Amino acid sequence: MADPAPPGTPSPTAPAAPPTPHTPPTPPVPLAALLAREDLGLRQIAGPDARAAGTAVQWVHTSEMADPYPYLLGGELLLTAGVHITDPTGAGGSLDDYVARIVAAGGAALGFGVAPVHDTVPRALAAACERYGLPLLEVPPRTTFSGVARAVWRLMAEARHAELRRVTEAQQGLATAAARPDPVPAVLRQLAARLGGLAVLYGPDGAELQAAGLAKGEGEGEGVGEALRELTGIVRRRTPTAPASAADTAGATHLAAYALGGGRGFALGLATDRREPGDHTIAGAAVVLLSLLTGEHQGASEAARSAALVRLLVGAPVEETAPLLGSGHWTVVHARGTPGPLAASALAAALGSALVDPRGPGDAVRLLVPADREISPTDGWTLGVSAAAPPGGLAAADTQASRALRRAEATRRPLVRHQENGIASLMAPEEADTHARTLLAPLTNNEPLTTTLRTWLSLHGSWDRTAMALTIHRNTVRQRIARCESLLAMDLNDPDTRMELWFALSRVG
């Protein structure tokens, strides 16, 4: 076998660049931390120095396959005892091919267990790892592969705990800053300190309103500032397709931009010399707080809406408060998802409205959104959206949104809009409601039967899908539907009956 080429020399079979590993939900473990564990006794014998290169392990995988490529996700510490190595000299390039395939799969490092198969790590394997830049570790006989895996999981758990503690402390610090007399600059200072970089608040015209911290790394100063301004310009656009966040780099500096809720064009820009796993969560908390704080800079229309809410709270009739909401139309949204007022505020910011009731009917979040705002599905939420209505028609729109939310939950769709068409458009609402209540009277006050019937109809009579949607056994679904059929004295196999029941269920609470 020819002498190995110097480290970094390209090989005809070596990949140009390994694929990006699938990122797990836990922070990666530095390979150097694993090597520092004296109880494991691991020793690096080939490849780039793990400490200098900053090599990280995202999981552990044991395989004795001659070609482990199909079983790797990327980022693994692959452990092997070399059972598949029948010729330790690597004649014919077999070990070169083996290492090349690990690198092509994005493997982070290779751990070779000494004994009982091989007394030492094959020199040809070390040469191949040196050639392809793959760290090679010697696992001593006293250390089991399961012991290495357990050590990695423990280090991951410790890193995850440290990350959660860091995020929690940062959120508490941001909340405390928001309660200061100068909340906006205080939040920016706290955010810049927690992330170790620069935090900038931009106005609707792209002007820098407040800034705190300092950007580090290459491209620092004016270049970073201009790049950050351009990035925030992407998220400040008031269009349905404009992203809520964006990321980029300027030299070695990481850039991030976030649109602040309310549709007023404010944006947060961040420039840091590193990007940690919890940074996005910390920035998200700052975005919610800054969205609420910048919402205080409201124009005449927002002030009028706040006045309308105040008058309603002190007992003024709707006829008096409706004009304060303006002559435009509104959309009522009912949403169910992450509980808590902070999550409700974040949803309101995403939909561009400050008019939110975190505890609406049935524990749903209820929002009032200007009708010209585009309402799109939002991660973690199920939405029911009413038709556009003038201020005097908001009560009816509220009922529409409630019904739309129930249909969305029954059909497991992220968003359902109210549509007044089909049979419903041929009947007066009062007549339709009376007919629905009469038809479904035998099921009154029996929520399990009503919910099961609605879900079963929405899923076209599928027993299995209904059971999955309601997390109950399929026999329970059959029993409940049979009970409904008995109480209603109707044949649920009849498509006309199903249509009539679906119409009735869409009209009742």
Residue type at 411?
T
Query: What pLDDT is recorded for position 340?
Result: 64
pLDDT in tens, 193-220: 999 999 998 887 788 888 898 764 444 4
In the chain, helix, strand, coil percent, each to 5? Answer: 45, 15, 40
What Rg do the C-alpha atoms of the chain give, in angstroms? 31
Alpha carbon separation from 150 to 28, 116, 146, 386, 441 (Å, rounded): 14, 21, 6, 53, 60
Distances from the Cα of 158 to the Cαs of 145, 148, 202, in angstroms?
A: 20, 15, 37
Q: What pTM, to 2 d.p., does this model score?
A: 0.47
DSSP assignment string, 319-350 = HHHGGGG-SS-EEEEEEESS-SHHHHHHHHHH
**Amino acid (1-letter code) at residue 246:** A
The residue that leads in pLDDT, 363 or 420, is: 363
Reported confidence tier of residue 346, pLDDT bands at 50, 70, 90: low
Dist. CA 281–CA 181, nearest whole Å: 25
pLDDT of residue 442: 87
* Mean local confidence (pLDDT), 235-262: 80
Q: Beta strand pairing status for 109-113 and 136-139? A: parallel
How many whole angstroms separate alpha carbon 104 and alpha carbon 153? 25
pLDDT of residue 361: 72
Mean pLDDT of all residues in the chain? 80
The structure tokens listed for 343 are: 């999550």
Q: Which of 236-245, 256-265, 354-363, 481-490 is predicted with the least confidence, judged by mean pLDDT?
A: 236-245
Interval 253-269 mean pLDDT: 83
